[in-house]
Amino acid sequence: MGDYEETNKTIEKCKQRSLKILGSRQMSTHEMQKRLVQKGETEENAKETVKWLETIGAINDIDFAEAIVRYYINKGYGIVRVKDELYKRGIHRDLWDDALTVADQSETDDAVIMFLDRKLRGSRDRDDVRKSTEALCRRGFSYEEARMAVTRYLENAGNTERTEQAGVRLHDGER
């Protein structure tokens, strides 16, 4: 067997390994290349295999980046955290802005409201509000975004309580 045939066999094994890896979850080109090298493939074979995966459409960094953005936004994380995840997964910075366009502000707002509902549970205690604001900052929101979200939440919670109280009075008066 010649060197060409041996190299071809090695690359085919690398391609098969990459398809098995992709079967478990979607990943970036950087993650796939790193994973193949960890599994014992040469850097050259890993690069060639990743190019092949891109060619056949099995790996697409833009689609992967958009999926990461949607996932973390829907979980209630801020843009800073999303960018951190894109960085960790080896997505090139050139693709970040395009991927971040899929972030729907209303989905972010809904996720933040649900998070604050769990954290505050109707409390207006100054310490609880501070802790919730800090928690949002740890989730990737700027301090200003976190403070505004908590303020909006508390205002809406106050309006809801007043509306519910007015509804109770109205029903009591109808009896």
Q: What angle do CA 69, 73, 77 make, to 5 degrees?
A: 115
In tens, the pLDDT along 71-110 reads 998 888 888 999 999 999 999 998 998 888 877 667 777 7
In tens, the pLDDT along 23-63 reads 888 999 999 999 999 999 999 999 999 999 999 999 999 99
92: number of CA atoms within 13 Å, CB side?
A: 7
The answer to pTM > 0.75 is no
**In the chain, how long is the greatest CA-to-CA distance?**
95
What gap in Å lies between CA 142 and CA 152, rounded to an integer?
15
In tens, the pLDDT along 35-44 reads 999 999 999 9
From the options 1.10.10.10, 1.10.150.120, 3.90.1710.10, 1.20.1290.10, give the CATH code of 60-103: 1.10.10.10
